[in-house]
Amino acid sequence: MEKSGGAERYRAAAMVLPSRLRAAALEVPEAKQAAAEEIRLRVGGAMTILLPDGEASTGAWVEAEDLETLCDIATEFSRYAAAETLREGFLTVKGGFRVGLCGSAVMKDGANTNLKYLSSAAIRIGRERKGIAKELAPRLFRDGEFLNTLILSPPGGGKTTLLRDLTRLLSTGGEGFEARRVALIDERGEVAAMLRGRAQMDAGPHTDILDACPKAVGIPIVLRAMNPQIIATDEITMPEDVRAASMAAGCGVGLLATVHASGAEELSEKPLYRDLLERRIFRLAVRIVRGADGRRYEVEELGAAAEEAEA
């Protein structure tokens, strides 16, 4: 069932492609369609499919006009309406897909205002895997209270997929815990995949979503406006993200966030995350481990890592 669903998501993502490239993408064997994580286009090269073990060529050559057509299809021929995310280098497409873009930045007063001469694109095939966090979610509570939690894995490990399902479960409630009000700061538009105010992915019935907003700006907004019990957010990457998370924790709000790291030990080796540990904002880490039998989720306490960071 999962394999078939994966192939269906791949075929839906391929609909964003110009007709010639779409035909080539649909000729990919179904097993590869089901496993595909991205469809990648680079001008002057062959379109490739990103699989768990690397990129595979489709043999279809990519021209500059293909990327222009892709943008027209992705924005439903209204690039002006998508200008805010386009200047950030991505587009959110109906169905919950995200298209990342590269090209020549159009700079004004030190800020990028647009992209021109598009050179490459990556269509991320986001998949909902409802229920993957069902057994994990209760382990993040102590005496009925949610413990601030980091989700850890290297790039491509499945952090966003797990974050999405945990957000949904925390917002819905489950065995051993009641539903919480969750505010989701979806800076990259990958978790809920908002399109014109409507989430393309299920983030839960009691989740309020702030889309395409930097975490350092968004966390104070939802604290003031939405009275959340838990704030969920995608990748922590900047010192200001750490400061905003610290402020939220000081207000008694639970936190759920993702970080690029293989485990708690690696956190203490990087200055940004060492600061995160020293502030003792997060109590638990969920480490995503990929094996031959799929992914498993290991929960570890961050107390020892925090003490090591302070040493």
pLDDT digits 0-9 by tens, 261-310: 888 888 888 888 888 889 999 999 999 998 777 789 999 999 755 555 55
Query: Which DSSP symbol is given to 148?
Result: P
Question: Is 65 among the domain residues?
Answer: yes
Q: Yes or no: say if 89 and 101 are a contact pair by the CB < 8 Å rule.
A: yes
Q: Yes or no: say if 170 and 271 are a contact pair by the CB < 8 Å rule.
A: no
pTM assigned to the model: 0.81
The domain that contains 17 carries what CATH number? 3.30.450
What's the confidence (pLDDT) of residue 86?
81
3-state secondary structure 1-14: CHHHHHHHHHHHHH
Residue whose C-alpha is closest to residue 186's, from 78, 178, 204, 173: 204
Q: Yes or no: say if 156 and 173 are a contact pair by the CB < 8 Å rule.
A: no
pLDDT digits 0-9 by tens, 86-133: 888 888 888 778 899 999 988 888 777 788 899 999 999 988 889 999
Q: How many domains does the chain have?
A: 2
The pLDDT-based confidence of 3 (bands split at 50, 70, 90) is very low
| Same domain? 59 vs 141 | no
pLDDT digits 0-9 by tens, 190-244: 899 887 788 889 999 999 999 989 999 999 999 999 999 999 999 999 999 999 9
Question: What residue numbers bound the domain in which 262 lies?
Answer: 137-310
Q: What are phi and psi of 145, to 5 degrees?
A: -110, 135
Q: Yes or no: say if 198 and 186 are a contact pair by the CB < 8 Å rule.
A: no
* Type of residue numbered 19: S
Q: What is the DSSP string of 228-265?
A: -SEEEES---SHHHHHHHHHHHHTT-EEEEEEE-SSHH
Q: What percent of the chain has pLDDT over 90?
A: 62
**Of the residues 124, 151, 184, which one is the last residue of a structural domain?**
124
pLDDT digits 0-9 by tens, 37-75: 999 999 999 999 999 889 999 999 999 999 999 999 998
What's the confidence (pLDDT) of residue 6?
80
Question: Is 130 among the domain residues?
Answer: no
